[in-house]
Structure 1
């Protein structure tokens, strides 16, 4: 399978990096995420670590976006604290992001290997739980 790539949204990466540097403190908040809404707004969030599991930054971003009236995201990126850079979403987040935003691009990679790829490419042969996910082609 050849992965399709799209232009990298460097402003989005910078927004997530800024949040990771200024808001991720201690063990409870170690990841930041930024998403680009369809209207161009950038929405940010941090994870909420807890021994019971807690939501990742990408999952918190889904709720934060909805609370701000952004129900469709175009692109998302997660960045780790302590200057860890871009971190790809875990399996649970990949599935949730696909379920909420089937046409979402996700920024992955590092340095000159940064790329924006469709969420479907990160989770091939995924479980389909909702009719809106089915291809009509």
Structure 2
């Protein structure tokens, strides 16, 4: 059962604005926005490359760290060309869970968006963070 949380519409707007204004051509087709624990909004775009460039959510993790935001509460990705909210791919789901186990992810479309725990997007998943705890 998925537990829904209040949707952070400001995040969706920030990612949509970035997708409209910065995603041009085939190199940048997705934008992501996250709310840091301190309230800041961090944004990023993907870096598409035929060899497997990083998704917007992964670029966002690095951008957040570069800005000193190591704890994120909520994330959303939005596609260019008015595609709206796009759920994270499998790799991003796993990485987001590993970095931020309590993260909420906004999914759904138009007026049916909802914020769900990242763990709900990967039921019975391997948790890399558990390995780090055991090693320490």
Note whether the superposition's TM-score is higher than 0.5: yes
Unmatched tracts of structure 2, length 5 or more: none
Q: Secondary structure at the match of 2:3?
A: coil
Deviation sequence 1:86-118 (CA, Å, 0-9, x none) = 000000000000000000000000122100000
Unmatched tracts of structure 1, length 5 or more: none
Give the CA RMSD over aligned residues.
1.3
TM-score, with length taken from structure 2: 0.95
Q: Judge conservation of contact 1:107–1:116 (CA < 8 Å) in 2.
A: yes
Give the corresponding residue for 1:36.
35
CA positional deviation for 1:127:
1.0
CA positional deviation for 1:133:
8.2
CA positional deviation for 1:128:
2.0
Give the corresponding residue for 1:109.
108
Q: Judge conservation of contact 1:102–1:133 (CA < 8 Å) in 2.
A: no
